Structure formats: C-alpha cells, structure tokens
Structure 1
Amino acid sequence: MLNTTFYKLLFGQLLLLWVVSGCATTTHNADPLEPFNRAIFIFNDGLDKTMLKPLANVYQTIVPKPVNKGVSNFFSNLGDVVVIANDLLQFKFKQAASDTGRVLVNSTVGLVGFIDVATKLNLPKHDEDFGQTLGYWGVGNGPYLVLPLFGPSSIRDGLGRGADSFLDPLFYYTASQVDASALAPYVLKGVDERAGLLELETVLEAAALDEYSYMRDAYLARREYLVYDGNPPQQDEGIFDDDEGLFDDDEDLFDDDEESN
C-alpha cells in the first residue's frame, strides 16, 4: 500500500516550485526571491541549530568511524543509481558503464555498498542529477531558491530533485511502507550527511560576513561547474580587457607620434 502522505508532500513541494517560478519570470536577477529565500534560510538555520546539528554531534560521537563511513558509503551507493540514469539521459555512455560497474562491485564485493571497493578499482564516483541533465540540454538555472529542509537550490534544480526522487531506491522502499518507519532511512541519511559537514561549518562561519549570500554564490558557482563538467563558459570580458581596453597600449590617448599642438 502506497504511503499517500509521502506523495502529498512530494507533489506539494513540486506545486510550490511551479507557483514560485511563475511569479519570478519577470526579472533576470539571479535571486529575485531573496526576501522569501532569506525567510526559509532563517527557518532552516533555526531547525539545524535546535535539532539537526545536535543529532549530528551525538551521531558522530557515539558511532564508530568505520561504521559512520560504512553508512555514508551505503547511501552513496544508492545515489549512484540516480547518477547512472542521468549519465544515460546526457548520452555519457562511457561514464554510465563505469558507474554501473561501480554499483555492481560495491553492491556485491562491497557488502551492499558499505565498503567502497570500486574507487580502489579505478571506478571513480561521479556527480550527476536531473537538474544537471536539464542544464546539459539547455534549460536555464532559473531564480535561486532555498527549499525548506533541503536548503540551497534553484527552480531548475528543485524540479530536478523531485524527478530524481522517482529514481532513488529509497523512494520505492518508503512508498511501500504504511507507518513512520518509512522516514527512518531519510532521517539517518540526513543526520549522516549533516555529521559530514560539521568540520566545514567553522570554515563557513569564518569566511562569510553574510552566510546567506556566501552559500548562495557558492551553490550557484558549483552548479554551473557541474553542469559544464568543470568547463563553464567564459564570462564576457570587461572594458579594461588587455586586448581592447580603454587604455590599450597600442592606441594610447597620449601617443608620442601624434603630439597635440
């Protein structure tokens, strides 16, 4: 029996993304929804400080490092199924073959993914999702969007997240459950991921005068990097470009060969 509450939450989020995107089509600003985004950012930050971060600290303290690493590897292995699907959607067939081999090796020799054997066999982990697939086929990023619980995103990546959920093996497990235990894997995954970010939190606090702006700019830059596989297009050059600037050495305003009277 399907968990109808789960579906309602999922499609409710997609509906929110659609409504917000419709209200944001009149501007070219990367963050036209900033007041809304900051409000969600404050909500997420409060939830993190009161619940997620304390849970992550306890989890990191009581769970042995090998077990912690194994749990991270397990969820990473499940995530590779989504990666493979998006490899194929982007016609990256060689990468899809490598990632398929990675899942097969880690799911068998690696004990259902708890041990990352594939990396040692030169089958590296890749990062592909449906948001990147949309970008690969020319769909624009759209306005920056902070999602409740999930954090930094965009209109395109938010819709991509919803699509990826249908490829995630966890989705089919939770959809088959009829009680709160369906959410247990997602809770464990979220706490595990949060624990992995504890060391980076100090860097963020030290580097950012405005954490919201810092995270937004870092997220958008990384997403562009991933969409273009590490080779984003060059930005338009400014007016002080060495080749055609206002102060070009070849055409100086005070050229000695053309003295003024």
Structure 2
Amino acid sequence: MKSSTLSLKVALAAATLALASGCATGPDANPRDPLEPFNRGVQRFNDAVDEAVLKPVATTYVDVTPSPVRTGVTNFFGNLRDLWSSVNAALQMRPRESAENLMRFGVNTTFGLAGLLDIATEMGIPRTRIDFGQTLGRWGVASGPYLVLPFFGPSSFRDTVGLVVDSNADLVGDVDRVANRNSLYTLRVIDTRAGLLGAGNVLEGAALDKYSFTRDFYLNRRQSQIDDMIDKGIGLGNGE
C-alpha cells in the first residue's frame, strides 16, 4: 500500500542511526534503553515539531470543531483500525477478539455511516486494540531496545517492525486520489493529537523527567498488553 513507503523509510533510518550511535552509551545506561542519547535527541526534535505545529493545530481543531463532528472523526478512524485488530487477533489465535472486532467493523460500516457512528459499542460489542507489534510479542519476539522514532514517537525495535506492517495494512492507503488520501492522513494526525491534549498537560506538569516517564510508561504498558494476551491465549513466549 502507498502509506507504507514513508513509514518504512523513517523506521529503517531511525533504527540504522540508533544502531550507529549505540556505542556512545555509558555503563550506567538503562538496560532497556541503551540508545538513550540518540533517543533523547529525537524526542527533542519531536517535541519541537509538536510545539510549533501539531499542538497549536490540534488546539485550534478542538476549539473550532463541534464535539459531535470530532467524535465522528475519531469513530471513523477507530472503525478502520478495528478491521486490522481483527486480523491480528486471528494471527494470535484469539477467535473471540477477532470475531468481535470484525463484527464491530461490519456493524459500524454498514449501520454507522461508514463508521462515523459507533453503533457497535451501543450494542455492547467490545473493542480490543491489537497491532502487529503486539502480535510479534505474543509469539515470543523480543522487544529489543527502546527507540524513539522521528514523528512517530516511542517505539522499540520490535514495534518499529510492527509499524511498517501496520502501515502496509492501513486502509487509508487504499484511497486512490492522492489529495484525498493525504487529507485523511492529516486529519487522523490532528484527531490523534487532539485526543492527547489533556494527557500532554498532565505529563508536562507531573514528570520531573519527561523522557524517562514516557519511556517507562510506554515499555511497561506494551509489556502489560502482551502479558495479557499470553494469559488469554496459549502462552508461547513472554515477548521479552
């Protein structure tokens, strides 16, 4: 799919640069984050882009867009992700979650105006968010070092590979007209950032070291997600 090209280049370039800079870390480096000097530099870059562009645009979006419209946008992109979550659940041999996510996609696409309305939630059909990085972890692929990707943010070597696969499976990439496809990408980025405005304010006010807080939260959350999958599945590997 067309959306995979940029993600692939960014992910591979970041991984290559990180590997090249890995020898610069000291003996006191966090064992889960041996590339910390590189990662901190990338986070500073991402924070600068966020402060200059993403946060102001997202704030304006929230201020000028009616709440029902924003909810519809969030529902639309969430509906697209449900289909890929269904595929990943199937890859993990989790038939219940696969069927639920597939049912959500079918119901919301058919009866919810292409996903603008979340009819499935009103019907009591649960949503389970699953990406390919989690699927890799589910089958015992080690996380590898923590890695901050330009524009994409917190990741790991395993999740970077997962990001490339997720990008190839992105239904937005199937939109034929470049202008429409790029508009959807842009809208999704704005919608995602708008949903994080509150969390960002809390993080800036509470964390003494924003980098360490973000890293530990991300790695612990990802491991918790994978452990939960193993508990519910047939339990191969531990993802680390």
**TM-score, normalised with respect to structure 2:** 0.87
Change (3 A) 1:28 1:219: closer
Amino acid at match of 1:207: A
Cα deviations across residues 187-206 of structure 1 (Å, max 9, x unaligned)? 10010111111111221112
**Residue 75 (structure 1) aligns with:** 77
**Residue 208 (structure 2) aligns with:** 209
Structure of higher CA gyration radius: 1
Structure 1: 5+ residue stretches without partners: 234-261
**Residue 90 (structure 1) aligns with:** 92
**Residue 164 (structure 2) aligns with:** 162
**Residue 139 (structure 1) aligns with:** 141
Contact kept? 1:135, 1:227, Cα under 8 Å: yes
Q: Secondary structure at the match of 1:126?
A: coil
Cα deviations across residues 78-98 of structure 1 (Å, max 9, x unaligned)? 011110110111010111111
Q: Secondary structure at the match of 1:229?
A: helix
Structure 2: 5+ residue stretches without partners: 236-240
**Residue 225 (structure 2) aligns with:** 226
Change (3 A) 1:16 1:68: same
1:15 and 2:12 are equivalent in the alignment = yes
Cα deviations across residues 58-94 of structure 1 (Å, max 9, x unaligned)? 1001100000001000000001111011011101011
**Residue 118 (structure 1) aligns with:** 120
Contact kept? 2:34, 2:145, Cα under 8 Å: yes
Contact kept? 2:7, 2:163, Cα under 8 Å: no
Q: Distance in 2 between matches of 1:182 and 1:155?
A: 28
Cα deviations across residues 37-76 of structure 1 (Å, max 9, x unaligned)? 1111000000000100000011001100000001000000
Change (3 A) 1:187 1:217: same
Shift in Å, 1:9: 2.4
**How many residues are aligned here?**
227
Q: Secondary structure at the match of 2:126?
A: coil
Cα deviations across residues 185-236 of structure 1 (Å, max 9, x unaligned)? 1110010111111111221112200101100000001101111227889xxx
Cα deviations across residues 143-170 of structure 1 (Å, max 9, x unaligned)? 0000111101111001101101121111
Contact kept? 2:4, 2:164, Cα under 8 Å: no
1:49 and 2:48 are equivalent in the alignment = no
1:99 and 2:101 are equivalent in the alignment = yes
Q: Which has the higher contact order (CA 8 A, sep 6+)?
A: 2
Change (3 A) 1:204 1:12: same
Contact kept? 2:104, 2:120, Cα under 8 Å: yes
Identity, % of aligned positions: 44
**TM-score, normalised with respect to structure 1:** 0.80
Q: Distance in 2 between matches of 1:196 and 1:55?
A: 12
1:150 and 2:147 are equivalent in the alignment = no
Q: Distance in 2 between matches of 1:108 and 1:200?
A: 33
Shift in Å, 1:114: 0.7
Give the structure with the higher percent helix. Answer: 2
